[in-house]
C-alpha cells in the first residue's frame, strides 16, 4: 500500500522536459553525474539506486535485492569486442516507488544513454513483472519492504528482526524469487514455499502440502544459499512441522492460526492462484504511431495475426507478423505484443524525444490499463534486437 503523502509512480505521465522534476534533477547534478564516469568500457552488470534526485551505486553484494519503495537503474554492458560493447539500460520501479523516483530514474536512463553515445537500448521493468532477460542478470530476485524515503532500507536479518519470504520460481526463467511478507501465519498458504531468515546460521524452508515438487527443491536450495553459517531446516506442512516450536514462535503460530498446540499449519489457507494466471493467453499485436505532441492520442496504424503466449515464450518472442514498411525514421512507433511493449524511435530523435518515448508507454496505459505494468523496451533505428523485428515481415 502506498504511504500517505507519497504519490505513486503509476500516476506519472513522463512529460519531463521543462517540468519541475526536470529542473530538480538538473539542479541535483549541476556539476555532472559522477556515476557515469567510466561506464560502458567493461563487460558487466552495474546497479544504482535513485536517492533524492541523484543516483548512488548499489552494493554489489546486494545485486538482485530491491526495495519496493525505490527505483533503480541497471546497466548491462556486453560483447566480445571491448572497443564496441553493446548496452542495455533498465530502470526498475518498485510497487511503492513515487512519481519523483520514477521520473528521476527515467531521466537518468536517458542521460546515461547520451553518455554512451546513444548506443544503449532502454528498458522499464516493474516489480514482479520483469522481462526474462532482466531476471537472468541475477542469481535470484528479492523484494524487500521499505526504501530510502521511509528509512527502512536494511537487509541484514537478526534473530530479533528476522525476514520472512514467500518463494516462487519465475516462469520461463526458472530463477527463484523471494517476496518479503508479514511475519505471520496469515501470510502463508498450502500452495507455496516460505523461508524464515533469522540469521546466516538460522534459516527455515517451509513447504506447503500443495507446493510442487520441483519448487520444493528450489526453495530448499534458496534456503541453503542464505544459511551460510549452518544448515537450513526443511519443514513440510502436516509432516511434523508443528514440532518446530522456534519457527512457529516467530510466526505467532498459535494466535494467528487459531490452534492451541498440535498441528499449527493445519489452518493455513489453501493454494492461491499464480500471479501469471491473469496474463493473456493470446493476442493480436498492435502498432501505433506516437505523435510528438503528448496531448494527442496514439494512432493505430497496424495489427498482426493472433499469437499464443505459450508459443511466444518458447520462441523468445515474435509472430503475429506486422508490415516492416509501417516503420519510418521520421516517427516514433509503439508496438503492443500482448506481453511486452516496444517503442521504436526514428534516427533523428533528440534527448527530449527519447524521454517522451518512454512517456508514450504511460500514454498508452491510459488507453489500455493492462499495459501499465508490462515490460517496456525503447530502441532506436538500427538497434532492432530484443526480439522486436521478429514481429515484422
Grid coordinates representing 188? 502463508
Grid coordinates representing 229? 553459517
Q: What is the pLDDT of residue 110?
A: 85
Q: What is the pLDDT of residue 33?
A: 76
Q: Is 337 exposed, middle or buried (0-12, 13-18, 19+ CB in 10 A)?
A: buried
Total domains, the chain: 3
16 within domain boundaries: yes
Q: Do 220 and 253 lie in a common domain? A: yes
Give me the long-range contacts of 315-319 (CB less than 8 A, separation at least 24): 315/390, 316/387, 316/390, 317/386, 317/387, 317/390, 317/391, 318/387, 318/390, 318/391, 319/390, 319/391
Question: At which of 141, 171, 197 does a domain end?
Answer: 141
Q: Do 249 and 286 lie in a common domain? A: no
275 within domain boundaries: no
Helix (H, G, I), strand (E, B) or coil at 371: helix
271 within domain boundaries: no
Q: What is the pLDDT of residue 19?
A: 58
Grid coordinates representing 74? 541497471
CATH of the domain at 177: 3.40.20.10
330 within domain boundaries: yes
Q: Do 93 and 197 lie in a common domain? A: no
Q: Do 137 and 77 lie in a common domain? A: yes
Question: At which of 141, 173, 191 does a domain end?
Answer: 141
Q: What is the pLDDT of residue 325?
A: 87
Q: What is the pLDDT of residue 258?
A: 38
Q: Do 116 and 13 lie in a common domain? A: yes
153 within domain boundaries: no
In contact, 139 and 174? CB cutoff 8 Å: no
Q: Do 170 and 84 lie in a common domain? A: no
Query: Residue 127, by phi and psi: left (phi above 0), alpha (psi -120 to 50) or beta?
Result: beta
Helix (H, G, I), strand (E, B) or coil at 83: coil
Calculate ∠ Cα 347-285-339, nearest 5°. 95
Q: Do 119 and 176 lie in a common domain? A: no
Q: Do 226 and 336 lie in a common domain? A: no
Q: Do 294 and 366 lie in a common domain? A: yes
Kindly give the confidence (pLDDT) of every residue in the chain, 393 residues in length, as a single tens digit, with 9 standing for 90 and above. Answer: 455 555 555 555 555 544 566 656 655 564 567 889 889 999 999 999 999 888 999 999 999 999 999 999 999 999 999 888 999 999 999 999 998 899 899 889 988 988 898 889 999 999 999 999 999 999 999 999 999 877 666 778 999 999 999 999 987 778 999 999 999 999 999 999 999 999 999 999 999 999 999 999 999 999 999 999 999 999 999 888 888 999 999 987 443 343 444 455 556 887 776 666 557 888 899 999 988 777 888 999 998 888 887 656 555 566 668 888 888 888 899 999 999 999 999 887 655 566 677 889 989 999 999 999 899 999 988 888 768 888 988
In contact, 87 and 116? CB cutoff 8 Å: yes
50 within domain boundaries: yes
In contact, 72 and 144? CB cutoff 8 Å: no
Q: Do 109 and 175 lie in a common domain? A: no
How far is 86 from 180, CA to CA, in rounded Å? 34
Residue 176, domain extent: 163-257
The residue with cell 500517505 is 4
Q: Do 13 and 96 lie in a common domain? A: yes
Q: What is the pLDDT of residue 275?
A: 61
Question: At which of 89, 108, 141 does a domain end?
Answer: 141
Q: What is the pLDDT of residue 281?
A: 84
Q: Helix axis angle, 99-115 relative to 351-367, nearest 10°?
A: 140
Q: Do 217 and 326 lie in a common domain? A: no
4 within domain boundaries: no
152 within domain boundaries: no
DSSP notation for 172-206? TT--EEEEE--SSGGG-BTTSEEEEEEETTEEEEE
Pairing label, strands 176-180, 140-144 = parallel
Amino acid at each position: 500500500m502506498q504511504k500517505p503523502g507519497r504519490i505513486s509512480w503509476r500516476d506519472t505521465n513522463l512529460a519531463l522536459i521543462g517540468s519541475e522534476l526536470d529542473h530538480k534533477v538538473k539542479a541535483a547534478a549541476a556539476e555532472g553525474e559522477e556515476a557515469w564516469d567510466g561506464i560502458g568500457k567493461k563487460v558487466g552488470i552495474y546497479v544504482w539506486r535513485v536517492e533524492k534526485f541523484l543516483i548512488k551505486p548499489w552494493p554489489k553484494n546486494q545485486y538482485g535485492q530491491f526495495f519496493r519503495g525505490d527505483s533503480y537503474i541497471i546497466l548491462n554492458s556486453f560483447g566480445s569486442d571491448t572497443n564496441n560493447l553493446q548496452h542495455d539500460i533498465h530502470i526498475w520501479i518498485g510497487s511503492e516507488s513515487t512519481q519523483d523516483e520514477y521520473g528521476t530514474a527515467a531521466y537518468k536512463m536517458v542521460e546515461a544513454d547520451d553518455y554512451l553515445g546513444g548506443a544503449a537500448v532502454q528498458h522499464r521493468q516493474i516489480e514482479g513483472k520483469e522481462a526474462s532477460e532482466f531476471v537472468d542478470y541475477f542469481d535470484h530476485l528479492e523484494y524487500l519492504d521499505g526504501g530510502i524515503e521511509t528509512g527502512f532500507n536494511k537487509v541484514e536479518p537478526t534473530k530479533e528482526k528476522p525476514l520472512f519470504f514467500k518463494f516462487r520460481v519465475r516462469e520461463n526463467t526458472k530463477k527463484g524469487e523471494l517476496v518479503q511478507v508479514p511475519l505471520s501465519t496469515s501470510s502463508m498458504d498450502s500452495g507455496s514455499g516460505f523461508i524464515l531468515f533469522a540469521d546466516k546460521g538460522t534459516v527455515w524452508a517451509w513447504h506447503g502440502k500443495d507446493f510442487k515438487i520441483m519448487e520444493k527443491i528450489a526453495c530448499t536450495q534458496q534456503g541453503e544459499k542464505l544459511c551460510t553459517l549452518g544448515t537450513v531446516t526443511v519443514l513440510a506442512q502436516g509432516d511434523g512441522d508443528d514440532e518446530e516450536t522456534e519457527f512457529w514462535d516467530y510466526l505467532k503460530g498459535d494466535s494467528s492460526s487459531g490452534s492451541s498446540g498440535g498441528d499449527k499449519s493445519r489452518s493455513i489457507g489453501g493454494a492461491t492462484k499464480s500471479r501469471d494466471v491473469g496474463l493473456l493467453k493470446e493476442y493480436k499485436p498492435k502498432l501505433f504511431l506516437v505523435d510528438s505532441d503528448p496531448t494527442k492520442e496514439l494512432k493505430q496504424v497496424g495489427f498482426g495475426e493472433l499469437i499464443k503466449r505459450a508459443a511466444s515464450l518458447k520462441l523468445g518472442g515474435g509472430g503475429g507478423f506486422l508490415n516492416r514498411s509501417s516503420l519510418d525514421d521520421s516517427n516514433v512507433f509503439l508496438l503492443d505484443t500482448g506481453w511486452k511493449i516496444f517503442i521504436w524511435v526514428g534516427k533523428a530523435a533528440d534527448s527530449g524525444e527519447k524521454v517522451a518515448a518512454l512517456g508514450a508507454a504511460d500514454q498508452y496505459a491510459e488507453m489500455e490499463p493492462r499495459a501499465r505494468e508490462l515490460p517496456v523496451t525503447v530502441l532506436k533505428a538500427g538497434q532492432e534486437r530484443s526480439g522486436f523485428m521478429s514481429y515484422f515481415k
